[in-house]
Amino acid sequence: MYICAIVFLKKIKNVVLMAIQSSNQNTNPTPITSSTAKEADIFENTLRPKALDEYIGQSRLKENLKVFLAAAKKRNEPLEHTLLYGPPGLGKTTMASIIAHEMGGKLKVTSAPAIQKQGDLAAVLSNLKPGDVLFIDEIHRMSSSVEEILYSAMEDYVLDIMIGKGPSARTMRLNIPQFTLIGATTKFAMLSSPLRDRFGHIFKLEFYSESEISQIIHRSARILEYQVTEEACKKLAKCARRTPRVANRLLKRVRDFADIDENTHNIIDLEITKKTMSALGIDELGLNRTDIDLLKTLIEKFKGGPVGLNTLSAATGEDSGTIEDVYEPFLIQLGMLDRSPRGRIATENAYQHLGLDISDLKKKQEALF
């Protein structure tokens, strides 16, 4: 009788699992994206370091991670769930693929907006193998109902699935393989505290130094079988917004200009680099047309601010999220923009860089004191 009940329950579990997977196939393709799918990704994957020792920069994170990886391996356990946060392009996905490689597991990549229903997450989790690493990008955008079932998956490797509706609804507990979740976000503050608290490791990715970006450019050029002169590399590094993704993208563009020039022979020198930066509208500090437009609008239309993000977005036609995540962090790093409770403010550095009259700013500062 007891054995019959267990067999019956197992059968129900299998039916539920199959239902999760087939409902997912019918309505929404599995939200796992193969990281080799897109052309841009192929380029990024070629240049992406595979092992921690190949990774340039983020030295404190690397040193700590080395210890945590070695300890987890020694105990034969998966690495504890890890949260990576910081501006885009600093290497969150790269770090996740390194963690998977170092732990000997497979990396499965998805993003919170792709996981719309509890069933989507259930399908992703039930397809994992022990030791796999699940990377969820933009984890701050996870819906609360999906987040709810993620908690037990993270803590106890179980999925509590609700079957049926109303008074006859029942929860069914499914075991899932021991895995490591790597959550990535550009908006750390938008994570709910119960989710944040379930990560064993929380790492902030910092902007890179110019010397680290130079090393990354040299490494990428070597892989692509191009030679970059020291001067060209310094120039590229200065224009790369202290961000590896930007550095590799600029290298790719200079390579295009070098390829159509018959005299360069796989050598990237200062001349071709300057020509490329000027064609792309990137100035000597790495600011592009949008950065300049943002600063000019702030200064010329709004007397240097403070101005609210949405007003700045309407005035420039740039999406407010893109201004906040992509443009502002670098402008703040350069000391050209400040965030205040009343809005965005252009600093003296911005006036000087754009060659604009600073007297307005001075008058405003005097009036404040």
As measured in angstroms, the least distance from the Cβ of 199 to ligand ADE is: 22
Rank residues 46 and 145 by Cβ distance to ligand ADE and give the closer one: 46
Dmax over Cα atoms in the chain, in whole Å? 89
Around Cβ 154, how many Cβ atoms within 10 Å? 19
CA–CA separation, 191 vs 196, rounded Å? 6
Catalytic residue among 235, 245, 255, 344: 245
Q: Is the Cβ of residue 126 or residue 214 nearer to ligand ADE in the bound state?
A: 214
List Cβ neighbours of 283 (8 Å cut-off, separation of 6 or more): 277, 292
Q: Toward ligand ADE, which CB reaches closer, 47 or 154?
A: 47
Active-site annotation holds for 229: no
Catalytic residue among 82, 94, 110, 137: 137
CB of 46 to ligand ADE, least distance (A): 10
Question: If you search the block for the tokens 């949405």, which residue do you land on?
Answer: 310
Instruction: Indicate if 186 belongs to the active site.
Output: yes
Residue 124 vs 213, nearer CB to ligand ADE = 213
Q: Which of 48, 82, 92, 132 is catalytic?
A: 92
Q: How far is the CB of 247 from ligand ADE (least distance, A)?
A: 8
Residue 263: CB atoms within 10 Å: 9
Least distance (Å) between residue 236 CB and ligand ADE = 13
Active-site residue, 253 included: no
Are β-strands 170-175 and 158-163 bridged in parallel, bridged antiparallel, or unpaired? antiparallel
Catalytic residue among 82, 93, 110, 264: 93
Closest separation in Å from C-beta 56 to ligand ADE: 4
Identity of the residue, 227 or 311, whose beta carbon is nearer to ligand ADE in the bound complex: 227
Interface residue list for ligand ADE (CB under 6 A)? 47-49, 55-57, 91, 94, 216, 219, 244, 248
Q: Is 120 a catalytic site residue? A: no
We find the least distance from the C-beta atom of residue 205 to ligand ADE, in angstroms, to be 10
The answer to whether 316 is a known catalytic residue is no
Nearer to ligand ADE, 62 or 303 (CB): 62
Nearest to 196 by CA among 185, 211, 212: 185
Q: Which residues are catalytic?
A: 92-93, 137, 186, 245
